[in-house]
Each structure stands twice: as C-alpha cells, then as structure tokens.
Amino acid sequence: MRTLVTGILCGALLFCNGVQAQNKALIDSLRGVLAGPLPDTTRIVVLYDLSWELADAGSYVEAKVLADSMMVLATRTGSENAKANADNILGEIALRLGDYAEARRYFAECLQLNRKSGNERNTAAAMNNLANVKRKEGDLAGALRDYLAAVDINQRSGNEDWLGKNYDNIGTIYLQLGDHPEALSYMLKALALRERIGDKSGIAVSYSNLGLFYQQQSDLKEALRHTQAALKTRQELDDQNGMAISYVNIADILNRSGQHAEALQQAEEAIRVSEEIGAKYTLIAAYAYAGQAYEGLGRSAEALSAYGSGRLLAESIDDRSDQAEISLMAVALLTKTKRYAEARRHLDTAIPIARTVGSREMLANAYRELERLDSINGDWNGAYRNHRMHVLYRDSIYNASNTEETTRLELQYEFDKAEAAAQAEQDKRDALSAEELQRKEMQRNALMGFAVFGIVFAVVDMRRRRRIKKEHARSEALLLNILPAEVAEELKAKGHADAKHFDQVTILFTDFKGFTEASEKLSPQELVEELNTCFKAFDGIITARGIEKIKTIGDAYMCAGGLPVPSSSTPAGVVQAALEMQAFMISRKKERDASGEPAFEMRVGIHTGPVVAGIVGVKKFAYDIWGDTVNTASRMESSGEVGQVNISESTYALVKDEPGLTFAPRGKVQAKGKGEMEMYFVELL
C-alpha cells in the first residue's frame, strides 16, 4: 500500500497550515459559540477556526459552507485580512478535494490580498500553498520555484516557523525528482531549524518525512526510528490526527519487516483514533495495514474483514484509487485461500475502477491475478489473454519510466562519441603536424613527399569532418525527437530551459474505444504494430500543421497547438487535424473490417486555455505541459463519442467562424470533476 502511506505522509506535510488537533469537543464548543450573538470580528475568527477543524476532520462540505459565510461577512465588513484568510481555507478545501483549478484561484486571490497589505508572512504562506497546487498538478519545477521564493521572503522577514515548512516541501520535491542527497539535506535542515526554535509540531512532521525518506531507501530500521520519534512528539502534543498518521506509518513499516503482531497493534490504535476524530482517509489506510498484519499472522477471515471495511469506506467517500487497491489486496488473499469465485467478483469491480483512475500498475496486477485464476480453472486461452494484458500494462509502466532515460543516455552517448572522435582526430593531426615540422628540418629535399602527405591528410581531415558532422546531425535528430526545436536550442545554449506560461494553447486528446477487446484478439507484436501505424499517421498530420506532440500514454495520444511558438499553429488547425485523424481511423477500420482484422475506434477531445510548459527532471527530461486546461481537454475526450471531435466552449468561441466547419451544440454535458460544461461536435461542411 505504498500509494496510501505516501499520500498520508504528504498530507501531513501539505495540510499543516491550519489547526492540527482534530477534537470533537473543540468542534462542538465552537459550534456552540457560533450559535450565540457575536460581534462580526469575533464571528469571523470563530468561523475560521471551526472551518479549519472541520476540514481537518474530513467534513469538507460543512467546512466550505462556513468558509463561504466567513467570506460574505469579511466582504460586508471590508476586512481584506479576513477575505485573505477565507481564501486560504477555501483553497485548502479545494486542494484536498482535488479541484486544483479552484484551489489555484483561491490561493492566487489570497496571495494578491496579502501582497497588497504588505504582510510578508502571509504572502510567503500563500506562495507555499500555490506551490502545493503545482506539485499536485505535476508541475514540480514550478512548485520548486515557488517554494524557494517563499524561503527568500521568510528568511528576509525572520519567519522561521514557516521556513521549516518550506525546507520540508523542497525536500519532498527533490525526493520525487530522485535527488536523494538534496532531499535529505533539506529535510535535515528543516529538523535542525525546528529543534532550534522549539517547534514541536514541526519536529514531528520532519521526523515523519524522514521516515518516508528512509523507507524509500529500504532502510526500515531508520524509517521506524524516525516514525516512532514523530509519534512520541505527537503524543506529547496530544495531536490526535498526527498520532493516527504515525500509527499507520509504523504499521506499514512493521509489516514490511515481517513483524505482523506488532504491526496489528499499531493498526488497531490507528483505527481507534481515526474513528474517534473522523479521519476517514487515515482510517482507510489503517484498515489496509490491519488486513496485511492479519494476513501475515495467517488470520485470513479477519484480514478479509479489514480489507472489506477499508474498501467500503473508500467507496463511501468516492476514493476510487484506494478502493481498487484494497480490492486487489483482497483478491490476492482470496486466491491464496482458494476462494476463486469471490476473487473474480472483486476483480470484476476493481478493473473498471483501476481503468478509470488510470493506474497501469493496478491494471497490471489485476490481469496477473486473472491469469492466475484462469490457470487454476484450466482456462488456458483466458490465462494466455490475461497474461498478454498483464505484460502489456507491466511493460507500459517500464517504458513510461525508462524510455526518456534511455533516449537521454543515447543522446549523451552520441554527443560524447562525436566529441571524443573530434578530439582523437585533433590529437592525431597535432602529432602529424609536429612530425611534419621535424621532417621539414631534416629532409628539405622531400617536398614532393610532403605534398603527397598533405593530400592524404586533407582527405583524412575531410572524412573526419564528415563523420563528426554526421554524428552531430544524429545527435541533433535525437534531441529534436525529445524536445521542440526552440526548447532544444535554449537547453544547448543555457544548459537548462525555463518553464514558460502560455495564455492560449489548444490541447487535443485521443483515446481508442475497444482497445482491450482488440488486444485480446491480437498478439502483442500485432497490437504494437497497429498502435504504431495509427500514431505515425497522427504524427504526420500534426507535423504538417505545426502542432507539437506532447506524449502517448498507452493507447492515448496528446498534442498541443500554440507552443512553444504561439504562432506555430492555430486552434482551427488543431480542430482540422482532429478531423483528419478521425478520417484516418474510420478509413483504417473499413480496411481492417474488410480483411476480418480487429480495428480501433476513437474519441477526440479539444480544449483551449492557459498552460505552463517546460522540462521537468534531474535525471530524466521531457517537454510537458501542466494546468487545468490539460485536465479539461482530457474531460472533452472522455465526454465525447466515437467518430466525433468534441470541443469545449472556449475552443468553439475561437473556431466558430472558421470556413468549412459546422458545429452541433450538445448543450451542457456532465464532465467528471468539472460539473456541467458546454460542448460541441464539429464536422467538415
């Protein structure tokens, strides 16, 4: 359950801005105070404290209602400080609920108000919170920049308690980037600072994050020592929420160490505390680790009961990722205990959820379990099909994590080889030149011989230049296969490429319907060849229109118009490209249907808006884009229909007058995580 424990630890770091203790008595007390007559200034303070407490307890709906009331009251009284505080809690609620666009909006308003008031402490805090959103969106470079900017402000103004938060956040960014020495350096810097100023709550967070660091290094002894130190500090503070998180993390480490009886004790404590304070996400993880402990102790029935409790709780709060992950844990145990029918029922539920979440790792594990069940039941054809699907998703994980690194290494190799060849030829030339001078002194009568040598040398030098030029061209081609030309030039000139904001980028997503069904009828080689045929056609279509390919994800294809040079393409050009792609897929299906071969059908979605684009990574690099525009474009694809090009209202506004296009309004269509959105199908006249 690495996903769960990582999420909880990051949560301990990201959500430490508000009041830490999740205390039902305090919540009831604040509700009682709020019910009585209060001056506006006092009511604002009570609303703020209560909304934070409710948010920390997971009661986000009620917390948002109170924060909205606080905003109304702050606006009525003209208190910009109160408005900034309301923006802060509303942004935090949106962040925890995964509404990153809304979180970014609230935190940006908070930052603007705090800058206006000259409050440097709150300005740095708002900048830190905006960085938290960027990290959730995958913009690690942008997040790191904002965290470092917050450090500058807090160092200048002496806000040492916030400096510890900044250092910890920077450390976790470096941990995500795989730069472990830098990550440890910042985490230890945060701990030292907090110990010096006596920030016990912050010390607990530092110990918790150091536990995560050592766990990722597979140093379970050090991970346990630091996580237990976090627990001890939180017990001294009576921080119930922090204690529950620490119990969960200790249970995970002990399970990994094979100490299942001790792990069960910790998980049971986590369950008790989480239930008392209503910390639902922590409770899900506690059930999962209790299940693992029971399983390690050979108590299968109790393990399945714990997994079931965690799965039902995850389902009740629409936590699909953990719902699928716990289901797969139960499947493995059900298969192990020969309860095959139940295992298959769990898989039938888990696979669609994993596909919705987009977890290739979960899908690889699910198909491995299906393969195992089919083998046990003697269904060798089914076992073979599921084995192919397992390999497909397993390899897609490997490829996603290694293709960029492989390309980078190849690129570096080509550069190094060309440079070495040039140096070797130069050394040879220098040696020959020295020898030539010596012979001129000793054998002046051998001019003709030297003339012949000069001709030979010129030929060798010419061949050398050609070879170096060829190697350089190959290196350039490799670089341009990874990055846009403008970004590649910046990278070569400066050694790095800055992330850039683009106000208007049109993003296109495609996805194949029936991919799973078709893959069951094709060999892995045939499947890859068909994907390659389609994606090569797409590459040709978008290249002709100056559109930038971003990446492929399994059977999905993503490209964008309007970057890295805004004038390189237009929204209308992206729409035209989408229509050409659909035309290709329809034609391709007819060809394959005629020959009795499986074929794909495709959905396409397009949305236009602002993005940040750049290169992220220390050991790997790739050009990518981030922002809510990307998420919305993905929703246009998933909300579309096969054979159609589905565009958003913002794209429609830009292309509606384009000659040769016709549009079919769809009205408001429900989009996951976005609510109802206006959408249009577009066709050629």
412 and 470 in a single domain? The answer is: yes
**Domain stop point among 463, 485, 507:** 485
473 and 528 in a single domain? The answer is: no
pLDDT, tens digit, 9 for 90 and up, residues 124-152: 889 999 888 887 776 777 888 888 888 88
- The pLDDT confidence band at residue 423, using thresholds 50, 70 and 90, is low
Residue 447, Cβ density class (10 Å: 0-12 exposed, 13-18 middle, ≥19 buried) = exposed
**Closest to 70 in 3D by CA, of 55, 56, 57, 81:** 81
Kindly tell me if the per-residue pLDDT of 361 is higher than 60.
yes
Predicted pLDDT at 434: 56
Q: Identify the helix (H) or strand (E) that includes residue 625.
A: strand 623-626
* Within a domain: 151: yes
Q: How large is the average pLDDT for residues 588-610?
A: 90
DSSP secondary structure, 490-505, as one string: HHHHHSS---EEEEEE
638 and 666 in a single domain? The answer is: yes
- The pLDDT confidence band at residue 568, using thresholds 50, 70 and 90, is confident
* Within a domain: 263: no
Q: How large is the average pLDDT for residues 111-127?
A: 89
DSSP secondary structure, 98-154, as one string: T-HHHHHHHHHHHHHHHHHHT-HHHHHHHHHHHHHHHHHHT-HHHHHHHHHHHHHHH
* Within a domain: 527: yes
534 and 669 in a single domain? The answer is: yes
**Helical spans, DSSP H, in 483-570:** 485-494, 515-521, 524-544
Kindly tell me if the per-residue pLDDT of 592 is higher than 80.
yes
Among 254-268, 495-509, 569-583, which is the least confidently predicted range?
A: 495-509
459 and 549 in a single domain? The answer is: no
- The pLDDT confidence band at residue 448, using thresholds 50, 70 and 90, is very low
Q: How large is the average pLDDT for residues 667-678?
A: 86
72 and 137 in a single domain? The answer is: yes
CATH of the domain at 650: 3.30.70.1230
- Alpha carbon distance 164, 208 (integer Å): 13
* Within a domain: 187: no
* Within a domain: 551: yes
Total number of domains constituting the chain = 3
* Within a domain: 423: yes
* Within a domain: 385: no
- CB atoms inside a 10 Å sphere around CB 637: 23
431 and 571 in a single domain? The answer is: no
**Domain stop point among 442, 457, 485:** 485
Residue 196, Cβ density class (10 Å: 0-12 exposed, 13-18 middle, ≥19 buried) = exposed
Q: Which residue has the higher pLDDT, 491 or 239?
A: 239
452 and 585 in a single domain? The answer is: no
- Alpha carbon distance 674, 511 (integer Å): 19
3-state secondary structure at position 564? coil
Most confident of 56-60, 394-398, 628-632: 628-632
Residue located via tokens 């920049």: 145
102 and 43 in a single domain? The answer is: yes
431 and 481 in a single domain? The answer is: yes
**Domain stop point among 134, 158, 182:** 158
546 and 670 in a single domain? The answer is: yes
**Closest to 541 in 3D by CA, of 504, 510, 502, 515:** 510
pLDDT over 90 percentage in the chain: 27
Predicted pLDDT at 429: 55
Question: And the tokens for 68?
Answer: 């909205």
Residue located via tokens 């970014």: 104
Kindly tell me if the per-residue pLDDT of 467 is higher than 80.
no
Residue 74, Cβ density class (10 Å: 0-12 exposed, 13-18 middle, ≥19 buried) = buried
Kindly tell me if the per-residue pLDDT of 281 is higher than 90.
no
530 and 477 in a single domain? The answer is: no
- Alpha carbon distance 145, 149 (integer Å): 6
DSSP secondary structure, 327-349, as one string: HHHHHHHHHHTT-HHHHHHHHHH
- The pLDDT confidence band at residue 436, using thresholds 50, 70 and 90, is low
State which residues form the domain around 525.
498-684
**Closest to 151 in 3D by CA, of 133, 127, 175, 174:** 127
* Within a domain: 503: yes
CATH of the domain at 98: 1.25.40.10
Most confident of 224-228, 400-404, 416-420: 224-228
